Amino acid sequence: MSAGIEQFRRRATRPLVYGHRGARARAPENTLVAFEQALAEGADGIELDVRATGDGQLVVLHDGHLPRGAGRVARVDRLSLEQTRHLGRSLGYSIPTLDEALAFHHASGKLTNVELKSDVPSWPWLAHQVARRIRHFGTAGILISSFHPGIVLWMTKLLPEVPAALLLEAGRLNEAEHAIGGYRLLGAVGVHPERRLLTAPYFEPLSRRGALVNTWTVNDPAEAVRLARLGVDGIVTDRPLEILAALEG
């Protein structure tokens, strides 16, 4: 079991709340502005995505393609960092590097869920590079996640002191197997199921095993209350302000 997992457990009165790619309902997603907005709204932490540019730089970006006008798109893994950031600026936002996001995390003293994207040319390379940068900035308050079981396994080997969880989406073939305990074979501390998966019969076996369970993406206050009553540890949302109001009201 990874050290420091208790800081990611639900509070006595409510689950932890994470800003999904920041507070993306009010600011450009995966930007420092969105992260600042999420924390200003009271979020306990943020969730962000990591992938690499063509020149091997780690950036905080969800999509593997960026629009470049006239209906064209550019693959991020074929662009340099400067080209990637230039395209971001042309769309009206600033794409941060992972180093910038980790520096923000360190300064904030809050929690950060780092999701590694798997649609990259070499996910083992990505795992090694992300682990190296996290260790450089400090592992405190970091939680790792990915949809790719191999990435989760590698990260638990590379950063055994950092909790890791397997992301699960409704309709994926591996979600049932890994939700019932297979995540442990990866060295993970739990799972991050899509909210639609979380019924009582689904959740209770996880709870009995002591799994860390965070769910995404929850923007409806009534749904957040339902999941809180179920017993989830964390809720990932585009709207931390509204979700916190519902949980604390």
205 and 193 Cβ atoms separated by less than 8 Å: no
Amino acid 178: pLDDT: 55
- Domain count within the chain: 1
Domain assignment present for residue 228? The answer is: yes
CATH assignment of the domain containing 158: 3.20.20.190
Domain assignment present for residue 32? The answer is: yes
**pTM (2 d.p.):** 0.96
Q: What is the spatial distance between Cα 143 and Cα 111, in angstroms, rounded to a whole number?
A: 8
Domain assignment present for residue 239? The answer is: yes
What average pLDDT score do residues 159-184 get?
Answer: 80
68-94: pLDDT as tens digits: 877 899 999 999 999 999 999 999 999
Q: What is the spatial distance between Cα 239 and Cα 185, in angstroms, rounded to a whole number?
A: 34
Residues 6+ apart with CB under 8 A from 126: 50, 51, 52, 58, 116, 117, 120, 151
110 and 142 Cβ atoms separated by less than 8 Å: no
Site of tokens 């709204």: 41
The angle formed by the CA atoms of residues 33, 48 and 93, to the nearest 5 degrees, is 35
Amino acid 1: pLDDT: 47
Domain assignment present for residue 171? The answer is: yes
Q: How confident is the model at residue 175 (pLDDT cuts 50, 70, 90)?
A: low
Is the backbone of residue 196 left (phi > 0), alpha (psi -120 to 50) or beta?
Answer: alpha
Domain assignment present for residue 142? The answer is: yes
Burial label, 138 (beta-carbon count in 10 A; 0-12, 13-18, 19+): exposed
**Percentage of the residues of the chain whose pLDDT score is greater than 90:** 91
203 and 191 Cβ atoms separated by less than 8 Å: no
Domain assignment present for residue 101? The answer is: no
Q: What is the spatial distance between Cα 52 and Cα 58, in angstroms, rounded to a whole number?
A: 4
pLDDT at residue 66 greater than cutoff 50: yes
206 and 213 Cβ atoms separated by less than 8 Å: yes
Structure tokens at 30: 């995966």
Q: What is the spatial distance between Cα 93 and Cα 137, in angstroms, rounded to a whole number?
A: 25
Expressed as residue numbers, the domain containing 133 is 5-49+110-248
- Tell me which amino acid residue 179 is: A
Domain assignment present for residue 133? The answer is: yes
What average pLDDT score do residues 208-231 get?
Answer: 97
Average pLDDT, the chain: 94
Domain assignment present for residue 54? The answer is: no
pLDDT at residue 133 greater than cutoff 50: yes
What average pLDDT score do residues 46-64 get?
Answer: 98
- Tell me which amino acid residue 130 is: V
